[in-house]
A and B are shown apart, each in its own frame.
Chain A
Amino acid sequence: MVNPMDRILLSGNEAVALGAFEAGVKVGAGYPGTPSTEILESLASYPGVYCEWSSNEKVALDVAIGAAYAGRRALAVMKHVGLNVAADSLFYAAYTGLGGGGLTIIVADDPGMHSSQNEQDTRHYARFAQVPMVEPSDSAEARDLVAQAFAISEQFDVPVLVRMSTRVSHSRAVVKVRGPAVAPGKRRPALADPLPVSDPHSRSAGDALTALTANPGKYVMVPGNARGRHPVVRERLADLGRWAESCGLNRVEPGGRALGVVTSGIAYQYARQVLPEASFLKLGMVWPLPAGLLRRFAAQVDRLLVVEELDPFLEENLRLLGLTTEGKRWFPAIGELSPAAVRRGAVQAGVLGEEPPEPVPLPSLPARPPVLCPGCGHRPIFYALRRLGAVVFGDIGCYTLGAMPPLSALHTCGCMGSGLGNLHGVAKAMEGSDGNGKAAAVTRGRPAAVIGDSTFYHAGLPALANLVYNGGGGLVIVADNSTTAMTGHQDHPGTGRTLAGEAAPRLDPAEAARGLGVKRVATVDPFAVDEFLAVARAFLTAGEPAVIVARHPCVLQSRSRRPPVRVLAERCNGCGLCLRLGCPPLSPDGDGVLLDSDLCTGCGLCVAICPRQALIAVTDGEGDSLHA
C-alpha cells in the first residue's frame, strides 16, 4: 500500500535546514561542531542556497553578516563554544544591524557534554549582546522558529539567535510536509517552493549595498558612530520586549491552578511528560522576556516553578521581575536534564507524589569510553610521542583520544587552537631553566603540540604565526587525516573539496607553515614508525619552531583495509608492548595476545613495534595500497 506521506521524521537539525530553505535563505556558513553539524550538511542539499564550511565560526558569522548586508537572508551555524569564537562578530552585528537583510544564528548547546569540553548556556549571549533569542523544543518548532527568526531579524534590524540543544538537534520528530508528498525511497519531501519572501528581498543586492555605503554612521563602528548605535540597541531590545508580549511565540497552556511551570526548549517536553496536571507558560522566545505575560501567568497559579536546562537563566530573570519562583532548588543546573531528573525534582518539590524507587543500573560494569579506531593514523603519532616522553599540548578532535590510557600521550585539551599557544608559553617559561639544563638530545619532558588539520586552519594559523614571530620553539604536529573526522568527516581548506562536494584549492599545512616562516617542516606518514620517530626526535630538540605534518587519511572515512594481522603464539612472550597501543582488536590472552580479526584493519602498527615478530602482516589477498 502506498501511503502518501504527509508527515515525515526530521531531526531538529534537518528541520532547521528545511525551515531556512523555506524562508528563502540565500547563504549558509558554519564550522562543524557536534551537535550542530548536520544543519549545514542538510541545507547544502537544497537548491538555490549557497552553503560553506568556513574555516572557523567567526569567519562563518562574518560571511553571513556580509550576505545579510547585501539584503539577503543568511544563516550562521555553530555549536555553543563556536559562538565564543564568533562573539566579536555577534557584538558588532548587534550594533550595526543588517539594514533589511535577515540574519539568523543557530547555536547548539551540548548539555551533558556528549561531545564538548564544557556545557555553557548560550542564552547568556542573547542578554550579553542585547539581541533576541528563540528556542525550539522539537523539530516542528525548529522549522517554524527559524522562519520566524528571519522575520524578526528583518523587522527589528537585528541578528537573531536560535538556541538548539543536543536533544533537540539529534532527536527525530514528526514534521508536516507542505507541498508535494514524499517520493518513495526519499527521506524528506521533494523541495517545496520557498515561502514568498518579505519585502527587503525585492531589493537587489546592489540597492542594499548602496544604502549601506550611504550610512557610515550605522556600519562603520568607530567610537563616534558606535556611541550613536548603543542607544539604538537598547531601544530595540525594549521594542522587542513589548513585541514578545503578544508575538505568539510564547504560549500559555492552561492546566491546574495549583502549579504553573515556566519552561522552554527540550525542558518543556520533559516537564509536559512528567507534570500533566500543571499549567504551562512555554517560551518560544527566551530573550527578551515578556514581562507582562509572565506576571499574568504567575498571578494565575498558586506555585510557580521554572524548569530549564543548565543555568537558572529564566529563574533569575523572573526574580528580577519580582516574581516568587523556584527552579534550581529542585532541578539540576549541571548536566543534561531528563524526564527522570524532572520527576526527581518534582517529587522533592512536593508537586508530585512519592514514586517507587527509580531503577538504577548495575554498579561496577566496565565503562566503554570512545577510543581511536583500529588503524587510525593518530595512534602511531601518540605511540612516538609517548616513547619520546614529550609533554603534549592537545586540541579538539579525534586525536584528543590520545589522552586515553593506555596511550596517555596527550596532556591538555582546552579549546580549538589552544595547544599551540600553550606550547609557546611553556617553552618561554622553560627558557633559561630546565630546557637549557638538558643534554641536547634528551627528549623527555620537552613540550610539543598536536593539532588536527581542520583545527589548524580554524585556530592554529594565528598561534603558529605568533610562535614564529616571538622566537618560540617546540614541536608542532599537525595530525593531518584530510578531514574533520570527529564531527563526521566534513571538508575543510585542506581537503580539496567544498561542502557542496566540488573541487577546491587544497591548502597544505606544510606550505602554510613554511609561508609563516617555519624553517623545519616535514611531511611524514606516521605509520612509517622509525622515520616518524627520528624526525620527531630531531624536531623536538631543535630549539626552533618545527612542524611535522603527520599525514594519513582517516581510516573510518577511507575504509582502507588490509588483511588482518596474524598472531604467531609461539613467538609471543607476552611482553604486552602491542597492548599499550590501545588498539581495540588486541587483548591479553593468558601469556599471549588475542587479535579480533573482524576489527583489525591490518594497518601494521603493532607489527612494526613487536620486538619478537610475533605479529605478522598478511600480504596476500585483496589489501589495498594503504601505504603506497
Chain B
Amino acid sequence: MRDLNFMLAGVGGQGIILAGDILAEVGLRAGADVKKSEVHGMAQRGGGVTSQVRWGQRVYSPLAEPGRIDILIGFEVLEAVRNAHYLRQGGLAVVNRYRLAPPAVTAGEAAYPDEGDVEREFAARGADLRWMCPPSGRERLAVGVQLLGLVSALDPLREAFPPEAWLDALDRLIPPAHRELNRQAFQRGRAAGADVVPAREEG
C-alpha cells in the first residue's frame, strides 16, 4: 500500500478522536504500519483539536510535517483552513461546511474567514477542496463518520477500500447503541462523494 498521511481538524467535542481511530483501523487491517496522534485534555473543552493518522510501510513519527499531509478532513471551516498548510501540493481537503465562531469572533474582535478566502487559501496550496453539507440534529453526533464516508468515495481511497472495509472498522470501534446512526452517516457521506466522482477522473 502507498504511504498516506491524514489530518483531522476541528473543535473539541466533535468526535475527531473516534474518526481518527476508524481511519487508523482501516489502515491496520489493510496491512499497513500505522501511527496516530491525538490531543487530549484542555483543548477538548471547545478548543481547536487535530489528529493525524499515518499509513505506510514503516511509520516512525506519529506526526507528519507541514506540506506532507495527503488528505485533510475538516470538521469545521476555521479549523480546516488553520491547518491548510499541512496539505501537500495537490492534496485533498474534505471540509464540513460548518462555522463555529471562536470567542474573539463572538466578542466582535476578529472576523471569521469568509468562504472565498478559505477557497483561495486551499487553491493557493494546490489543494482539491470538497465541501460537505453539514448534518443537523442528531446526525451531528456522527459528523466525523459522515466525513469518512465522503473521503472513502474519493481518490485515492475509492478503489482500494470498499465500503465493507470501513463498516467493519466502524463496527469494531463503535458501541452497538450508536452503530446504526454511524453506519447511516457513513452511507450518507459516501453517497455524497459518489456524486462528485464523475466530475474528476484523474488519479
Contact = CB atoms under 8 A, between A and B. Distances in A.
7 contacts: A174-B34, A184-B172, A370-B43, A370-B47, A371-B103, A582-B103, A588-B107
A459 B11 CA distance: 32
B81 interface: yes
Given A9-B24, A185-B172, A273-B60, A366 B46 contact: no
B173 to A, nearest CB: 7
Contact of A115 (B41, B48, B62, B102): B41
A405 B102 CA distance: 12
Nearest to A182: B172
Nearest to B32: A174
Contacts of B78: 365-366, 368
B85 to A, nearest CB: 4
The interface size bin for chain B is 35 or more
Interface in A584-627: 584, 586-588, 598
B63 A366 contact: no
B140 interface: yes
A369 B106 CA distance: 13
Given A7-B28, A172-B21, A406-B107, A34 B42 contact: yes
A359 B66 contact: yes
Interface string B13-44: 00000000100110011000111111111111
Contacts, number: 175
Interface residues of A, number: 62
A338 B102 CA distance: 27
A174 B28 contact: yes
A96 B74 CA distance: 54
B66 A370 contact: no
Contact of B46 (A185, A339, A373): A373
B107 A401 contact: no
Contacts of B104: 366-367
Interface of B: 11-12, 21, 24-25, 28-29, 33-48, 59-67, 78-79, 81-86, 100-113, 121, 125, 136, 140, 171-173
For A184, A185, A343, A359, which residue has the most chain B Cβ atoms within 10 angstroms? A359
Given A115-B43, A171-B38, A269-B62, 9 more contacts: A35-B40, A37-B40, A114-B43, A172-B24, A172-B34, A365-B113, A370-B42, A371-B47, A586-B106
A367 B83 CA distance: 12
Nearest to B39: A114
A352 to B, nearest CB: 12
A185 B65 contact: no
Nearest to B176: A185
B42 A115 contact: yes
Contact of B106 (A185, A587, A598): A587
Nearest to B102: A368
A268 B48 CA distance: 27
B103 A358 contact: no
Contacts of B136: 598
Contacts of B12: 370
A579 B104 CA distance: 12
A255 interface: no
Nearest to A362: B121
A360 B85 contact: yes
A361 B66 CA distance: 9
Interface in A260-275: 266, 268-270, 272-273
Given A359-B125, A584-B106, A272 B85 contact: no
